[in-house]
Amino acid sequence: MEWDSGNAAWMLTSASLVLLMTPGLALFYGGMSRAKSVLNMMMMSFGAMGVVGVVYVLWGWSMSYAPDASVGGIFANPFAQFGLSGAIFDETGEFIEGLGAYPQVIDIAFQVTFAIITVALISGALAERVKFSAWLVFTAIWVTLSYFPMAHMVWGGGLLSGAEGSIAAGIFGTTDGEANTAPIDFAGGTVVHINAGIAALVLALIIGKRKGFGTVPMRPHNLTLTMLGAGLLWFGWFGFNAGSAFAADGVAGWAWVNTTTATAAAMLGWLVVEKLRDGHATSLGAASGIVAGLVAVTPAAGSINPVGAIFLGAISGVCCAFAVSLKYKFGFDDSLDVVGVHLVGGLVGTVLIGFLAVDGSVFFSEGAFGFGGFDQLIIQVVIAVVALIFSGVITWVIAAFIKAVMGWRVSDDVESAGIDLAEHGESAYEGITAGRLIKEGN
Amino acid sequence: MKLVTGIIQPHRLDDVKAALEAAGIRGMTVSEASGYGRQRGHTEVYRGAEYTVDLVPKVRIEVLVDSETASTVTDVIVQAAQTGKIGDGKVWVVPVEDVARVRTGEHGAGAL
């Protein structure tokens, strides 16, 4: 087998870029938390890297992509390729081919990084109050019961794909085994952002608010970290979106351009809202607008034109800028606005594809501005709603289970004093101390 | 002996230090401080949520001098720290009973 080394090189690079997003997210979230809890905030991202990095190899890939092992179109048999057996080499000992004429093991590398960042995204809703052990247990269960099935449903030929037996095939019929109108989720609007966003909302409701939420100031302690994190997220997102072309080709370049265009427009959209509403265009607003744009363009990166990306980005920036204040109206503590940015941004991007996709959408069904192709819009709304319900219910059950079995929250005293010292035995920044070394090493 | 304490805007520190050196004052102690005066603090907005920040950052400078020099020091600090805007700070003088130099153990004016 002659492998396409250009594709292979790009996809290994993409996998590495996506992996970099999670430490970037740790900086983004860490800067927004308070100084006394920043290490715990970062450790939740790193903890997700640890747990998911192991679980994915054991049964994650199998549940998402094992061939001919689908259970009702919802997930694949976790034991079909347990431990990646039969997923790397074929019977003759040759590498199995992946999506882009390179060994499939590169696809595995790419996909594990998506699972890691998706779980880590959720942690922003849980800042400064959750036991680290409860978070790690949640990570293992949630990625198994919510992420892997969602990846199978959308990308693995399951219910939310365009394959035979999918919801889209049921609504619109099939031609040659493919739905006549297939849902579009290029790089994870449903699997990553709606999935993580609704999970964040459910967890924030079940776990409850931080002590003093709404009265005690909970300002970001270091916006330079947040800006650095947002920059790393943008950089890593090129692997996320352009890598989802599974080739070093024109589609990858197209996704790259749309990703940057939408993100730039979203940042401007968020800043305009802030300037008009609050009087200042803030650095936190720029960082937040960047993430909102990246989120919204994720499902759309390979199906809209660059002018469409400007619309999509600007709309998502404006919507998310308004959405983040909803938590105060409804009184739930989504601490770092995972719902306002990822759920709302994910929904905006997923649904706007129905208007902006260059082939078959409302505006582009019969040439430019044809106004008539509502099928794409319908199926985009359907997959968004199914993703919301599926992930919402699963997350609710897992969260209630953990609450009953081990409890989510640290004690009130620990929460007040800051979670870093109690949970990790460390503090991020040194003040005046009178400590001394009592033991060298162990 | 007197202790002159000034609470000033952080960005005036370099000018105050230079002015005191020019006036022949040889030592000072500087620490970060925060607080508020009549103007109270200011508001900051993060993602649309508004926070009142009552305690604003200031710099506290302390200069230990003999009684005759204290008013000069006070005037130099006021002059160098002044911007004319609200929040410029305060300077006050208190009497000091005794002072000791740690290195030599000597007391009183000789230790200044």
Distance separating alpha carbons of residues A48 and A50, to the nearest angstrom: 5
Tokens at residue B16, please? 């105050």
Most B CBs within 10 A among A278, A327, A335, hence the mutation to make, goes to A278
Q: How far is CA A91 from CA A85, A86, A96, A179, A359, in A?
A: 11, 8, 9, 33, 41
B15: pLDDT strictly greater than 90: yes
Note the pLDDT of residue A367. Answer: 52
Give mean pLDDT, residues B96-100.
95
Instruction: Pick the residue from chain B with its C-alpha nearest to A326.
Output: B48
B48/A279 CB distance under 8 A: no
pLDDT tens-digit readout, B32-67: 999 888 777 788 889 888 888 888 899 999 999 999
| Mean of all residue pLDDT scores within chain B | 93
Chain B residue numbers touching A270 (CB-CB < 8 A): none
Chain B residue numbers touching A322 (CB-CB < 8 A): 48
Instruction: Pick the residue from chain A with its C-alpha nearest to B47.
Output: A285
Note the pLDDT of residue B41. Answer: 78
Note the pLDDT of residue A433. Answer: 55
Domain residue ranges of chain A, discontinuous segments joined by +: 5-440
Residue among B45, B52, B53 minimizing CB distance to A278: B45
Note the pLDDT of residue A334. Answer: 96
B47/A328 CB distance under 8 A: no
* B102/chain A closest Cα distance in angstroms: 21
CATH number at residue B49: 3.30.70.120
Q: Helix %, strand %, coil % for chain A, to 5?
A: 65, 5, 30
pLDDT tens-digit readout, A404-423: 999 999 999 999 999 999 99
* B85/chain A closest Cα distance in angstroms: 22
pLDDT tens-digit readout, A43-70: 999 999 999 999 999 999 999 999 999 9
Tokens at residue B34, please? 């925060």
Distance separating alpha carbons of residues A387 and A390, to the nearest angstrom: 5
Task: Calculate the CA A344 to chain-centre distance.
Answer: 12
Note the pLDDT of residue A434. Answer: 59
Note the pLDDT of residue A371. Answer: 61
Instruction: Pick the residue from chain B with its C-alpha nearest to A271.
Output: B47
- B48 touching A (Cβ < 8 Å): yes
Query: pTM of the full predicted structure?
Result: 0.92
| Mean of all residue pLDDT scores within chain A | 95
Whole domain around residue B49: which residue ranges? 2-111
Distance separating alpha carbons of residues A108 and A417, to the nearest angstrom: 42
- As its CATH architecture, domain A5-440 has Orthogonal Bundle (1.10)
Residue B49 half-sphere exposure toward CB, CA atoms < 13 A: 23
Question: Could you give the number of structural domains in chain B?
Answer: 1
Distance separating alpha carbons of residues A287 and A282, to the nearest angstrom: 9
Instruction: Pick the residue from chain A with its C-alpha nearest to B43.
Output: A278
User: Low-confidence residues of chain A, pLDDT below 50?
Assistant: none
